[in-house]
Amino acid sequence: MSHSHEEKRSSGDATEVVKTVTYRVRRYIPEQDTQPRWQDFAVPVTRGMTVLDGLGYIKENLDSTLAWRSSCRMAVCGSCAMFINGLPRLACETQILDLKTDVLEIAPLPNTENVRDLVPDLSRLFEKHKRTKPWLIRSDQEELDQPTAEYAQSPEELESYMQFSYCMKCACCMAACPTLATDPEFLGPQPLTQAYRFTADPRDGGFAERRDAVANADGVWKCHFAGACSEVCPKGVDPAFGNQLLKRELVFRYLKLRKDRPTSPLLAPPEGVERNPKIPEAPEPTVE
């Protein structure tokens, strides 16, 4: 047998329907439903097909009213998180055949209000995230607004917070957190980890401004380190670890074992580098 034939056999035909699964989808259309209901759809599955692809099949062929949120289709934007067979996951990253089941039960993310069908209301998450001031806080505001050069940071300093900066605000961790399930006022893993991400950044000097948001009665001390958040994070952020580092930072600073460090200095602007006129100016910010 030729090599190309072997390859075809092992990789399979991407268009061949290998089985049909049942999508059991939790529906809620506020104009017509007084409460959520379940609806089944038969979805033919091909190799490599994702849960998001299956939702697209339903919308195109079976019921155009089905609603969900998605954008990038490549596990980057974080918008397609939903509760798939008992776990918060990205629909675009989850392959149907990997679930090894004939029934997919799909619901909107837990610990969120439901806007419609599989669309969660994430405004609570964004509000909590904003409370922790997830941006660089420095005294040289003018430089932050109109940068002339870059702030110094070593590769080791970058490494100390980089994994936490991968967060794409998908809310999977918030949906998995048992503390948040029983106490909606708890800040939750995503905002707390982002508070640590900026606190650990050598360019930032905003710990004192951030402390009140994370060290209060609804803050990081409510996290009991069960780690459900880290189990489901699709980006390997490990928010449970971030929360523990934040606790350590609070204790060290409270006991004065760690001093406020100066924010990293501005590097001299690079010499001989001119702006490429072909690169367009950055657009005006669309949010405050």
Does position 246 interact with ligand SF4 (CB under 6 A)? The reply is no
Q: Rule CB under 6 A: is residue 225 a binding residue for ligand SF4?
A: yes
Binding span for ligand SF4 by CB under 6 A among 1-9, 47-55, 161-169, 204-212: 161-169
Of the candidate spans 15-23, 60-68, 99-107, 228-236, the one that interacts with ligand SF4 by CB under 6 A turns out to be 228-236
Q: Is 166 in the site for ligand FES (CB under 6 A)?
A: no
Q: Which is nearer to ligand SF4, 205 or 219 (CB)?
A: 219
In the shown chain, the binding pattern of residues 88 to 107 toward ligand FES, with x for contact by CB under 6 A and - for none, equals: --x-x---------------
Q: If binding is defined by CB under 6 A, does position 130 make contact with ligand SF4?
A: no
Residue 67 interacting with ligand FES (CB under 6 A): no
Handedness of CA 240, 242, 246, 248 (dihedral sign): positive
Q: Per CB under 6 A, does 229 bind ligand SF4?
A: yes
Q: Hey, which residues between 174 and 193 contact ligand SF4 (CB under 6 A)? A: 176-177, 179, 189-190, 193
d(CA 258, CA 181): 34
Residue 167 as a binder of ligand SF4 (CB under 6 A): the answer is yes
| Residue 84 interface partner, choices ligand FES, ligand SF4, none, CB cut-off 5-8 Å depending on type | none
* 76 sits near ligand FES (criterion: CB under 6 A): yes
Q: Which of these, 106, 127, 136, 148, lies nearest to 22 by C-alpha position?
A: 106
Beta pairing class for 81-84 and 103-107 = antiparallel
19 binds ligand SF4 (CB under 6 A): no
Contact between 228 and ligand FES per CB under 6 A: no
CA angle 128, 130, 133 (to 5 degrees): 120
Q: Which is nearer to ligand SF4, 29 or 162 (CB)?
A: 162
The region of 96-104, 137-145, 233-241, 277-285 touching ligand SF4 under the rule CB under 6 A is 233-241
Q: Does 80 bind ligand FES (CB under 6 A)?
A: yes
The DSSP line for the chain is --HHHHHHHHH--TTSEEEEEEEEEEE--TTT-SS-EEEEEEEEEETT-BHHHHHHHHHHHT-TT------SSSSSS-TTEEEETTEEEETTT-BTGGG--SEEEEEPPTTSEEEETTEEE-HHHHHHHHHT--S---S-HHHHHS-SS-B---HHHHHHHHGGGG-----HHHHH-HHHHH-TTS--HHHHHHHHHHHT-TT---HHHHHHHHSSTTSGGG-----HHHHH-TT---HHHHHHHHHHHHHHHHTTSSPPPPPPPBPPPPTT----TTSPPPPPPS--
Tell which one of 96, 168, 245, 250 touches ligand SF4 (CB under 6 A). Answer: 168
Binds 171: which of ligand FES, ligand SF4, none (CB < 5-8 Å by kind): ligand SF4
Contacting positions for ligand SF4 (CB under 6 A): 78, 167-173, 176-177, 179, 189-190, 193, 223-229, 233, 235, 237, 239-240, 243
Contacting positions for ligand FES (CB under 6 A): 70-73, 75-80, 90, 92
